[in-house]
Amino acid sequence: MKARVFTNGDFWVTGRDVRRRDSLAALDGRIIRIGDYDECLDAFPRGMKPDVIDLEGKTVLPGFTDSHIHLLSFGLTLQDIPLADVNSIEAVKARIRARAAEMPEGRWILGRGWDQEVFAEKRYLTRKDLDEASGGRPVFLTRACGHIAVASTRALEIAGITRDAQDPPGGAIDRDAYGDPTGILRESALELVRSHIPPASRELMEHLLKQAMEHALSKGITTAHTNDGQAGFPGTMDLYRKVQEQGVPLRVYWDIPVEFMQDLFKTPLRTGDGDDYFRIGAIKLFADGSLGGRTAALEEPYSDDPGNRGILVTPEQELREQVYLAHTHGMQVAVHAIGDRAARVSLEAISSAQSRLPVNHIRHRLVHVQILSPHIMSEMRRAKVVADIQPKFISTDMRWALERVGPTRMRSSYSWRTMRRAGIPLAGGSDCPVEPLDPLLGIYCAVTRKDVEGNPPLGFFPNEKLTLDEAVRLFTMGGAYGAHEEHRKGSLVPGKLCDFVALSEDIASVSPDDIKDLEVVLTVVGGEIAYRKT
Ligand SMILES: [Zn+2]
């Protein structure tokens, strides 16, 4: 039996209005008492002497849940060229040259995170840009959104993408004035190239996943709702289990890609099955693309691209069938829906499944839910759908969101406060590797609606800011609720798992602008120290 008292902390119990406590007692990984030091010492059976850990006055929050993350993808990106900080095409070329110099001929050069909006040249990359720097190697660089990529001429050749190639369903191959591919691929067209990239070996995946999971713990994440499938089914699950067995105690709720739905149905596993470290999560479905790439499905055309309403990446009827199938098999669904048309179509699919077979409290989710309307919000509430939001997106999207959708639609977009007031349950995530893995950055964006440089000074559409309490809830109770785990996680009360995070300073006393600079100094999972800042 493992008995612990964590003392001299400043425990945030359910919010800052509630009396804060200085000690917590845990037995075998669960909280048995929270209160003052003597009360906590008395909480154990007679004769049992707990280990005492001094928290040195630090502020303690419940362990963070990231409600939408791709941990294995993030791990795999650790070997890619990072391009998120690059602001010119010339600089992209320089990084390709440097990587090419250290890699054998013929090997693929992969990169991720570029964004033409920040390039000095103000244009998309082309295959010719990549060819100039890569010495004939295949190169494949994914845009920040993950829905668009650019391939070098060699990579296009390997994939058989010539001027005669047809656009695949739900995707597009960009072409120049002569009809030749420019190298830019959109949505499902990425797969044409990706399917030719040799996969990482299992050993490499395991090694990179371990790094990713340790990184998550160092950022205060104690539960990750992760959506990955690179190691197949059930291989991806085995991979997470294997890293956990190596002593990495990050709790995982695995959102399963829809292509494994039939394989899953051959097993008895359903949403919620598992143990306190690994549970089966939702079936992850896709309704549309990204707003940055103008592939998010809108009801009306893009304000900066008349005639384009974006892409429903799964045809409406097929999405309905997928949702119904998952629903009738006892699976939660999590549908990627960024545009208002995607949100409407997804909600209709959920409502139709519910009317054919009503299931209470299944808590289906819509992921991202950026462009909305008052009507969609009331439908979400009626359908009891959880909104899985990524506050950090605002700092990236504010640069062009208004141009994309115009002022009228903008008023009901990224409308976190309105959603909260409308009674829609909210959960917070990062969508890492799309955005950095850092819940404190998410909380900062939720309360300030500013980018990391602190702009705009009053925040972007500041009426939609969340309070600090609400923002912390997103990354604690919000995620727990979205996984039916609110009785196990999300707050520091007796009976729940002893998962918490200690911060470098008091989050309630620092200015909201400084929340992004706070550091996690200690992460505790199941009463054990999982990370300590050295
Ligand atoms: Zn995602």
- Tens-place pLDDT, residues 142-167: 999 889 999 999 999 999 999 999 99
Read off the tokens for 191.
Answer: 């797969």
pLDDT of residue 106: 81
pLDDT of residue 361: 83
Mean pLDDT value of segment 423-451: 96
Is 161:192 a contact under the CB 8 Å cutoff?
yes
340: nearest Cα among 274, 388, 410: 410
pLDDT-based confidence at 216, cuts 50/70/90? very high
Query: 176 alpha carbon to ligand 1 midpoint, in Å?
Result: 30
Mean pLDDT value of segment 185-189: 95
Residue 15 has pLDDT above 60, yes or no: no
Residue 495 has pLDDT above 60, yes or no: yes
Read off the tokens for 150.
Answer: 């650019």
Spatial neighbors of 203 by CB under 8 A, at least 6 apart, are: none
Query: 179 alpha carbon to ligand 1 midpoint, in Å?
Result: 32
Query: 230 alpha carbon to ligand 1 midpoint, in Å?
Result: 14
Read off the tokens for 475.
Answer: 């990354």
Edge to edge, what strands does the sheet with 386-389 contain? 64-69, 221-227, 251-257, 278-286, 333-337, 365-368, 386-389, 426-428
Residue 20 has pLDDT above 80, yes or no: no
As a whole-number percent, the residues of the chain with pLDDT over 90 amount to 92
As a whole number of angstroms, the distance between CA 160 and CA 148 comes to 18
CA 20 to chain CA centroid, nearest Å:
30
338: nearest Cα among 266, 388, 408: 388
3-state secondary structure of 101: helix
Spatial neighbors of 502 by CB under 8 A, at least 6 apart, are: 9, 55, 58, 59, 60, 520, 521, 522, 523, 524
Q: What is the number of other CB atoms lying within 10 angstroms of the CB of residue 282? A: 27
pLDDT-based confidence at 435, cuts 50/70/90? very high
As a whole number of angstroms, the distance between CA 281 and CA 260 comes to 13
Per the prediction, the chain carries an average pLDDT of: 95
Using one digit for the tens of pLDDT, what is the confidence trace for 30-53?
Answer: 999 999 999 999 999 999 999 999
Query: 75 alpha carbon to ligand 1 midpoint, in Å?
Result: 14
Query: 16 alpha carbon to ligand 1 midpoint, in Å?
Result: 31
Do you find a cis peptide bond into 198, omega within 30 degrees of 0? no
Query: 68 alpha carbon to ligand 1 midpoint, in Å?
Result: 6
pLDDT-based confidence at 7, cuts 50/70/90? very high
CA 80 to chain CA centroid, nearest Å:
19
Residue 448, amino acid: T
Using one digit for the tens of pLDDT, what is the confidence trace for 348-386?
Answer: 999 999 999 999 888 999 999 999 999 999 999 999 999
Instruction: Report, at the CATH architecture level, how domain 80-194 is classified.
Output: Roll (3.10)
Q: How far apart are the first and last CA of the chain?
A: 28
Query: 411 alpha carbon to ligand 1 midpoint, in Å?
Result: 24
Is 371:402 a contact under the CB 8 Å cutoff?
no
Using one digit for the tens of pLDDT, what is the confidence trace for 89-140?
Answer: 999 999 999 999 988 788 899 999 999 999 999 999 999 999 999 989 999 9
pLDDT-based confidence at 21, cuts 50/70/90? confident
As a whole number of angstroms, the distance between CA 496 and CA 526 comes to 9
Pick the CATH number of 66-70+202-490 from 3.90.1170.50, 3.30.70.20, 3.40.190.10, 3.20.20.140: 3.20.20.140
Query: 484 alpha carbon to ligand 1 midpoint, in Å?
Result: 20
Residue 2 has pLDDT above 60, yes or no: yes
Query: 69 alpha carbon to ligand 1 midpoint, in Å?
Result: 6
pLDDT of residue 14: 60
Pick the CATH number of 3-57 from 3.50.50.60, 2.40.50.140, 3.30.10.20, 2.30.40.10: 2.30.40.10
Read off the tokens for 242.
Answer: 């294997």
Query: 35 alpha carbon to ligand 1 midpoint, in Å?
Result: 39
Query: 431 alpha carbon to ligand 1 midpoint, in Å?
Result: 5
Query: 483 alpha carbon to ligand 1 midpoint, in Å?
Result: 17
As a whole number of angstroms, the distance between CA 359 and CA 339 comes to 27
DSSP class of 474: I
* Residue environment code for 190-214, b if the CB has 16+ CB neighbours within 10 A, otherwise e: bebbbebeeebeeeebbebbbebbe
Q: Where are the domains of the chain?
A: 3-57, 66-70+202-490, 80-194
Query: 146 alpha carbon to ligand 1 midpoint, in Å?
Result: 9
Query: What secondary structure does DSSP assign to 49-93, as a single string?
Result: --EEEE-TT-EEEEPEEEEEE-HHHHHHHTTSEE-TT--SHHHHH
Mean pLDDT value of segment 327-334: 97
Q: Where are the alpha helices (DSSP H) in 219-369?
A: 235-245, 261-265, 316-328, 340-356
pLDDT of residue 18: 56
